Amino acid sequence: MKWQGRRGSGNIEDRRTRRGGAAVGGIGGLGVLAVLVIGYFLGIDVTPLLQDVAAPQPGATVELTEADRRAGEFVSVTLADTEEIWAGIFDQQVDRPYQPPVLVLFKSATQSACGGANGATGPFYCPSNQKVYLDTDFFTTLSQRLGAGGDFAAAYVIAHEVAHSVQDQLGILGQVNQLRQRASAEQSNALSVRIELQADCFSGVWAAHAQNRFATLEPGDVAEAMNAARQIGDDTLQRNAGQRPMPHTFTHGTSEQRQRWFATGYNSGDMNTCNTFEARNL
């Protein structure tokens, strides 16, 4: 992905130099994050695995490394691309203005309007204040622990969370969340899968338009995104955790589903192909 030296976004809130999280003991920072991320995706209580994590130290300052700065620049450029692309898509396909979300960068932990943000939450979009929250250490976990390396794999993660903001602006997210509150656990999970697969499809739509507009994709980039979609499918994560896949617990979709819906959006470039809620077969 060609991103160096390109325009960054003004909608970045960088909290990485003021850590509100925990100092890490015996497990090690990357190990803790990996455990938390796996727990997040699988719905597993990972508390027993985190006994070596020290108490929180609010207010501690953090010095950014060169890798941190590079990751921040990458996120800023990618977010700027989503802003420009979605503004154009809304103008062409929605006929209303697009409101870009603010993206909060943090390290270890921070507070959001949706509660605490840390490695257990993973990257997420908070509809309460229309912000995306991201610890860029997640990219390291994505690459080294989950086997999904590459710039465009990381861009896919950002695009997926921005896609939830798109769903929010279209009124989809609010309607589905209301339905989930009245549904059984299994029905709520099924609705969550449809939300997440639509966000994957919207990510593909963004990628197609980004390539047409900026020509920033390089050979292998789409394959990186497809691999990331595969590695974070519910069935793959459960198998890698030594479990038998249990479809009724899925909240994001299988590897095959996530890949297929991303490809659907990428091949069409049309939001209308992303209606997972009317799809008979996900």
Weakly modelled stretches of the chain, pLDDT under 70: 19-60, 120
In DSSP terms, 173 is beta-bridged to: none
Angle at CA 103, nearest 5°, toward 207 and 229?
Answer: 40
Question: Considering just the CA atoms, what is the radius of gyration of the chain in Å?
Answer: 18
Tell me the domain boundaries of the chain.
12-274
> What is residue 122's predicted lDDT score, i.e. its pLDDT?
82
Confidence (pTM):
0.85
Give the Å distances, CA to CA, from 188 to 169, 195, 200. Answer: 21, 11, 18
- pLDDT tens digit string along 55-93? 345 556 778 889 889 999 999 999 999 999 999 999 998
Q: Find, among 87, 67, 69, the residue nearest to 77 by Cα.
A: 69
CA distance 259 to 200: 8
Give the Å distances, CA to CA, from 248 to 186, 236, 244, 260, 277. Answer: 6, 15, 12, 20, 17
CB of 147 closer than 8 Å to CB of 230:
no
Q: What percent of the chain has pLDDT over 70?
A: 84
> What is residue 180's predicted lDDT score, i.e. its pLDDT?
95
CA distance 53 to 56: 9
Task: Please enumerate in sequence order all residues whose Cβ is within 8 A of that of 189, keeping only pairs 6 or more positions apart, or say none.
Answer: 248, 249, 250, 251
Q: Output helix, strand, coil percentages for the chain, rounded to the nearest 5.
A: 55, 10, 35
* Residue keyed to tokens 């950014």: 64
Task: Please enumerate in sequence order all residues whose Cβ is within 8 A of that of 67, keeping only pairs 6 or more positions apart, or say none.
Answer: none
> What is residue 33's predicted lDDT score, i.e. its pLDDT?
40
Q: Is 46 helix (H, G, I), strand (E, B) or coil?
A: coil
> What is residue 264's predicted lDDT score, i.e. its pLDDT?
98
Task: Please enumerate in sequence order all residues whose Cβ is within 8 A of that of 241, keeping only pairs 6 or more positions apart, or say none.
Answer: 38, 42, 44
